[in-house]
Amino acid sequence: MSDFPHTPPRFSWTFSPEVNAEIRRAAASGIYDIRGGGSKRRLPHFDDLLFLGASISRYPLEGYREKCATDVWLGTRFAKTPIHLDIPITIAGMSFGSLSGPAKEALGRGASAAGTSTTTGDGGMTEEERGHSKTLVYQYLPSRYGMNPDDLRRADAIEVVVGQGAKPGGGGMLLGQKISDRVAEMRNLPKGIDQRSACRHPDWTGPDDLEIKILELREITDWEKPIYVKIGGARPYYDTALAVKAGADVVVLDGMQGGTAATQDVFIEHVGMPTLACLPQAVKALQDLGMHRKVQLIISGGIRSGADVAKALALGADAVSIGTAALIALGDNDPALEEEYRKLGTTAGAYDDWHEGRDPAGITTQDPALYSRFDPVLGGRRLKNYLKVMTLEAQTIARACGKSHLHNLEPEDLCALTIEAAAMAGVPLAGTDWIPGRAGF
Amino acid sequence: MCGIVGLFLKDRALEPKLGEMLTDMLVTMTDRGPDSAGIAIYGRPQKGKAKLTVQSADPDADFAGLDAALSAAIGGPVAIAVKDTHAVLTVPSARLDSARSAVRTLRPSVRIMSAGEEIEIYKEVGLPKEVAARFGLRGMSGTHGIGHTRMATESAVTTMGAHPFSTGPDQCLVHNGSLSNHNSVRRELRRAGMTFETENDTEVAAAFLTHKMDEGENLGQAMAATLTDLDGFFTFVVGTRNGFGVVRDPIACKPAVMAETDQYVAFGSEYRALVNLPGIEEARVWEPEPATVYFWER
Amino acid sequence: MQTFDLAAEGLRALNATLHALKDKTNETVWEVVNPRGAHAIAAGVDAPVEITVRGSTGYYCAGMNKQATIRIRGSAGPGVAENMMSGTVIVDGDASQYAGATGRGGLLVIKGNASSRCGISMKGIDIVVHGNIGHMSAFMAQSGNLVVLGDAGDALGDSLYEARIFVRGRVKSLGADCIEKEVRPEHLALLADLLRRGEADGKARPEEFRRYGSARKLYNFSIDNAGAY
């Protein structure tokens, strides 16, 4: 009997080891899993698009000598002082509180050196960030932590946050371990508690009331600053149109790959849409209203390289924003710290329990013993380098497509590798003229 | 997302000014809803008569000879009053239903905006001021009326997407907010035999009330049912032949202001809409409570 | 006194004029006539001046106010004195939703009734309401004092942090984690001061109020409290 070969062990795809571990964890702890970062799933993304470089029908530009410009104006619709950036890559909103002071300083230094902006997060504006960021966008969130008119007036732009890609429909969350003395004071909360944040703004709901709120913010700042409206990608066509109707100067759209400091894993992985699916919808809304390029569009959520920047611009964005990528450039999840990650029960590249505040890189922590390891000057240089590389990469691609400005990239410069990407991006499958979903297919 | 205005007159002496007052209130709410505007006006009924208000994208072609053709089809006298893209067809009340079917047959592309003994509904794409001018709303008189300025959220900016929606005789409804279970409710109502012209969430609310009243509930009961069966954020203002109703969802985030004097009851999404009403300085001004049905009837 | 006709000159001109006033200004007394329910009247003022609005306002009157004393001789629309930093705002009539929302300092007095979400997310402001307040008031209120001479609506103080709530009338229902607490001598002294500054000391005595505050059970997540979320 024992001579028969027996069936080898076989895992279930549905009940995979990861899924089972999560079920056991839930049963043991009685709480949902909370983590940082954006969606970790493989999703249709910019990788599934390719550029059609110059050949005989199109001619390329020479590198270096023949200029490919990269600058962008943001906020030209209503603001007295719109923002001019040297590169179309900005740093997304991340709070002091979720990030350490030195990390925020590094972001400010690097962004300023590269000629772009940073954004405050769900905790208010710090002196360090205002001091180190040449151009600073000030977020206006449901929590209103630290909100005050003086900071509104010292900001270069104001970003009304309706939602973010990691959790469209959700609020901010900062668990007790990161509410240090300084964070508690800035947010007016007792130290050490779990901060609950509201998911809707306290004093307006809906685009008709948003219009009145934007009017108030403009009045308080004497109509000087561009007003951005940030949305998590869910119904981007309608949301973009409504943001325009409510009076936004700039729309910031964040797809589900967009990161967060901490929220429920189910939110990150199961609510929202991939950035690739969101972007063309928002562009179409602007075009249908005759507002493309008049109300600028910034896209974020999984931007990693100059190729992503170029593809986002080709699909119609005016600029992109990076969050996760900026942190990795600063040194988050660096394999050099592998031994420490092992002690935390994880490994470099997978560490996402930032809410516990034990980041060995000193970036997503409020523990002075840890954040003192992080050198903000070096961090700033690394970020600047990364931003410059992305810009050069985007220029290389754009020149190869015959463009003298990144903004002249267009959807017709692209083809898709998969049916999903073709349908979502609205570009043809490579080697065909088929765009799924158009013309009755 | 929108602006709502409503006026229910207690003092007959104000009836000639109904259109003027409502138009001013409507235009004040333009910022809340620049996409399209609509108004329902309840005029004094004519004995034995009922009205259909219809709209056409090609009024010259569609309205030419329509009165004669309809008269022949229903076997009764028909009068037509054309206003821009709309027309009011006055028919014998006993023939209202057959007139409605006949219009659909005679002019398939014409849309029926309202039917009833008192109601007329006018709605179009465009700024409230322009919409009012096109239909001469200022000059209309009546006993009560509801107006709406629209900022489209999820459905298209079209004439039919504008409010008020009318799904039953002398009934209309306007809505500020965003429903979240309207697709499911629409499916249920379709199974019960109701038809829909648009994908709009507000049309579902109007049809829901009509359906409840068809089943024998009065308006107050039907409006109370919206609190259990409809989900999302809403302020509804409802018109019927004799009455005027208001209900807000239990969360009550969308704005609502009311004013009452001996002469009228008024509704506005913002206080600004009410500032020019006669006697507003001495009026009782209040905000309707959440999850509470308010109703006035003559 | 400076008089500003809002209907004639417009909102931008009004706020630009008010924003130009600095600490040492001579023009310390202002009135705004013909407000007619306009929005953002006197929003973003930062000067120790007195402003009287003769009529009713729209949304966000006195938004983010610093230092000024602003009196509304009428009713106020949604979000009156939202995010106020310091100073005083007095509404003679009623206030609509979100009165004093996210306010961080100063005093808001409402002589009529306040609507729903009064003091939502308050962060240090003091609010004294002579009449009633609506549902979801003091939602997620972090700090400051809310004093209500009339009744309170449903879900008072839901998800409350450290703000103090004093109600003289009936409370329709309490929100998650909000409980009645003992009134001690220091609370009576605090109330006496707030009633006096809130122009209500002739209408009520500190002893007539009950105190409500956070049970603090939601401060650190426990699955057994899941029903409260």
* CB-based contact C38 B272, cutoff 8 Å: yes
| Tokens read off for A411 | 């959807």
Determine the Cα–Cα distance for residues A98 and A96; give it in Å rounded to an integer. Answer: 6
Determine the Cα–Cα distance for residues A308 and B29; give it in Å rounded to an integer. Answer: 43
Best probe of the B interface among C33, C41, C80, C116, by most B CBs < 10 A, is: C116
Question: DSSP assignment, residue A406?
Answer: G
Verify that B32 and B136 share a domain, yes or no. Answer: yes
| Tokens read off for C101 | 């929302």
| Tokens read off for B233 | 């954020």
For chain A, how far is it from start to end, CA to CA, in angstroms?
A: 57
Q: At B161, which amino acid appears?
A: G
Determine the Cα–Cα distance for residues C212 and C204; give it in Å rounded to an integer. Answer: 18
Verify that B50 and B37 share a domain, yes or no. Answer: no
Catalytic residue annotation of B: 2
pLDDT of residue C191 exceeding 80, the answer is yes
Contact C19, C40 (CB under 8 A): no
Domain C2-228 matching CATH 3.90.1150.10: the answer reads: no
Burial of A356 (0-12, 13-18, 19+ CB in 10 A): middle
Contacting residues for A139 by C-beta, under 8 A, at least 6 apart: A93, A119, A120, A121, A122, A158, A159, A161, A230
Q: In this predicted model, what pLDDT tens digit does every residue of B184-225 receive, in sequence order?
A: 999 999 999 998 988 899 999 999 999 999 999 988 999 999
Verify that B101 and B247 share a domain, yes or no. Answer: no
**Per-residue model confidence (pLDDT) at position A172:** 60
Nearest to B55 by CA among B113, B132, B96, B128: B113
Strands A319-322 and A89-91: parallel
Question: DSSP assignment, residue C86?
Answer: S
B122 within domain boundaries: no
Rg (CA), chain C: 18
Taking the alpha carbons of A109, A114, A117, A123 in that order, is the dihedral positive or negative? negative
Q: Write out chain B residues lying below 8 Å of C75, CB-based.
A: 271, 285
Closest approach of C229 to chain A, Cα-based (Å): 10
Query: Final residue of a domain: which of B95, B117, B139?
Result: B117
B86 within domain boundaries: yes
Verify that B84 and B229 share a domain, yes or no. Answer: no
Verify that B105 and B253 share a domain, yes or no. Answer: no
Percent of chain C with pLDDT over 70: 96
* CB-based contact C162 A190, cutoff 8 Å: yes
B224 within domain boundaries: yes
Instruction: Give me the residues paired with residue B234 across strands.
Output: B177
Q: At B179, which amino acid appears?
A: L
Instruction: Give me the residues paired with residue C52 across strands.
Output: C31, C71
Could you tell me if B184 lies within 8 Å of chain A, comparing CB atoms? no
Question: How many domains in chain B?
Answer: 2
Question: Which residue ranges make up each domain of chain C?
Answer: 2-228
pTM of the model: 0.91
Cβ atoms < 10 Å from Cβ of B42: 26
Determine the Cα–Cα distance for residues A348 and A142; give it in Å rounded to an integer. Answer: 33
* CB-based contact B272 C58, cutoff 8 Å: yes
B74: domain range? Answer: 45-117
Contact A257, A275 (CB under 8 A): yes
Contact A122, A172 (CB under 8 A): yes
Q: Which residues 213-242 of A have a C-beta within 8 angstroms of C?
A: 213, 215-216, 219-223
Cα C140 to chain center, whole Å?
A: 15
Q: In this predicted model, what pLDDT tens digit does every residue of A112-146 receive, in sequence order?
A: 999 999 999 988 999 989 999 999 999 999 999 99
Cβ atoms < 10 Å from Cβ of B139: 11
pLDDT tens per residue across all 298 residues of chain B: 689 999 999 999 999 999 999 999 999 998 888 888 999 999 989 999 999 999 999 999 999 999 999 999 999 999 999 999 999 999 999 999 999 999 999 999 999 999 999 999 999 999 999 999 999 999 999 999 999 998 877 767 788 788 999 999 999 999 999 899 999 999 999 999 998 988 899 999 999 999 999 999 988 999 999 999 999 999 999 999 998 999 999 988 889 999 999 999 999 999 989 999 999 989 999 999 999 999 998 8
Determine the Cα–Cα distance for residues C2 and B166; give it in Å rounded to an integer. Answer: 51
Verify that B131 and B198 share a domain, yes or no. Answer: yes
Verify that B132 and B113 share a domain, yes or no. Answer: no
Q: Which residues 222-261 of A have a C-beta within 8 angstroms of B?
A: 235, 238, 241-242, 245
Verify that B84 and B136 share a domain, yes or no. Answer: no
Determine the Cα–Cα distance for residues A378 and A380; give it in Å rounded to an integer. Answer: 5
Question: DSSP assignment, residue A39?
Answer: -
User: Which 3 state secondary structure label does DSSP give A59?
Assistant: coil
In our burial notation (b when 16+ CB lie closer than 10 A, e otherwise), range B115-131 reads bbbbbbbbbbbbbbeeb
Verify that B180 and B276 share a domain, yes or no. Answer: yes
Nearest to B175 by CA among B148, B136, B144, B208: B148
Closest approach of C88 to chain A, Cα-based (Å): 16
In our burial notation (b when 16+ CB lie closer than 10 A, e otherwise), range B170-187 reads bbbbbbbbbbeebeebbe
Instruction: Give me the residues paired with residue B2 across strands.
Output: B150
Chain A's closest residue to B270, CA to CA, is A209
Verify that B22 and B50 share a domain, yes or no. Answer: no
Cβ atoms < 10 Å from Cβ of A51: 17
Q: In this predicted model, what pLDDT tens digit does every residue of C107-141 receive, in sequence order?
A: 999 999 999 999 999 999 999 999 999 999 999 99
Best probe of the C interface among B248, B271, B280, by most C CBs < 10 A, is: B271
Verify that B190 and B73 share a domain, yes or no. Answer: no
Closest approach of A204 to chain B, Cα-based (Å): 8
Chain C's closest residue to B272, CA to CA, is C37
Instruction: Give me the residues paired with residue A140 across strands.
Output: A160
Domain harbouring B271, CATH code: 3.60.20.10
Verify that B139 and B271 share a domain, yes or no. Answer: yes
Question: DSSP assignment, residue B226?
Answer: H
Nearest to A160 by CA among A219, A209, A109, A214: A214
Q: Write out chain C residues lying below 8 Å of B255, CB-based.
A: 77-78, 96-97
Question: Which residue ranges make up each domain of chain A?
Answer: 38-425
Q: Which residues 182-221 of C have a C-beta within 8 angstroms of B?
A: none
Could you tell me if A211 lies within 8 Å of chain B, comparing CB atoms? yes
Determine the Cα–Cα distance for residues A392 and A372; give it in Å rounded to an integer. Answer: 32
**Per-residue model confidence (pLDDT) at position C229:** 62
Could you tell me if C139 lies within 8 Å of chain A, comparing CB atoms? yes
Q: Write out chain B residues lying below 8 Å of A245, CB-based.
A: 34-35, 151
B55 within domain boundaries: yes
Could you tell me if A153 lies within 8 Å of chain B, comparing CB atoms? no
* CB-based contact C75 B271, cutoff 8 Å: yes
Count Cβ–Cβ pairs < 8 Å, chain A vs chain C. 105
Q: Which residues of chain A have pLDDT under 70?
A: 1, 171-177, 439-441
Chain B's closest residue to A203, CA to CA, is B253
Question: Whose structure tokens read 């267009």?
Answer: A410
B112 within domain boundaries: yes
- When pLDDT is cut at 50, 70 and 90, the band that residue C227 belongs to is low
Query: Final residue of a domain: which of B60, B89, B117?
Result: B117
Q: Average pLDDT over chain A, rounded to whole?
A: 93
Contact partners of C by the rule of 3+ C-beta pairs under 8 A?
Answer: A, B
**Per-residue model confidence (pLDDT) at position C24:** 77
Closest by Cβ to B287, choosing from C38, C59, C96: C96
Chain C's closest residue to B273, CA to CA, is C37
Determine the Cα–Cα distance for residues A85 and A110; give it in Å rounded to an integer. Answer: 14
| Predicted ipTM of the assembly | 0.95
Q: Write out chain C residues lying below 8 Å of A31, CB-based.
A: 221, 223
Please tell me the CATH superfamily of domain A38-425, with its number. Aldolase class I (3.20.20.70)
Instruction: To the nearest 10°, report the CA torsion of A149, A153, A156, A160.
Output: 30
Determine the Cα–Cα distance for residues A95 and A265; give it in Å rounded to an integer. Answer: 20
